[in-house]
Amino acid sequence: MEGTPTTGTRPGDGQPTQAPQAPTPPTSGQRAPAGGGGLTESRTWLSEKGLVRPRQGRVIAGVCAGLARRYEMPVFLVRVLMIAAGIAGFGLVAYIVFWVLMPREG
């Protein structure tokens, strides 16, 4: 079949070729390779960047307070912008995503 990689020889040099193999998933005793993604790695990366949900000054989950602290903005302004985004239709989804991804301070 055309376009399907198979084992054979390369034209011109007679060297055998092999189809590329997918990486094997880790077994239960092995850790996944670093840089593979995941919620824990995302939260670690965000906390290294200073984006965390604080324990003090939160109203619901601390997302707006964390964003305000990280970007040195007034918390009131971030809350107003989040409400405006909610009215526009994407604020609630954005808030939930930030709530899940942003680690708690501490």
d(CA 88, CA 80): 12
The whole-model pTM stands at 0.59
**Mean pLDDT (the chain, rounded):** 77
When pLDDT is cut at 50, 70 and 90, the band that residue 27 belongs to is low
Examine the pLDDT at 12 and tell me if it is beyond 80. no
Region 18-33: mean pLDDT is 54
d(CA 72, CA 65): 10
d(CA 29, CA 55): 35
Q: Which two tokens stand for residue 33?
A: 């390779």
d(CA 106, CA 95): 21
- Predicted local distance difference test score (pLDDT) of residue 52: 84
- Angle between helical axes of 75-88 and 91-101 (0-180°, round to 10): 130
Q: Which two tokens stand for residue 78?
A: 């971030």
Examine the pLDDT at 86 and tell me if it is beyond 90. yes
- Predicted local distance difference test score (pLDDT) of residue 38: 85
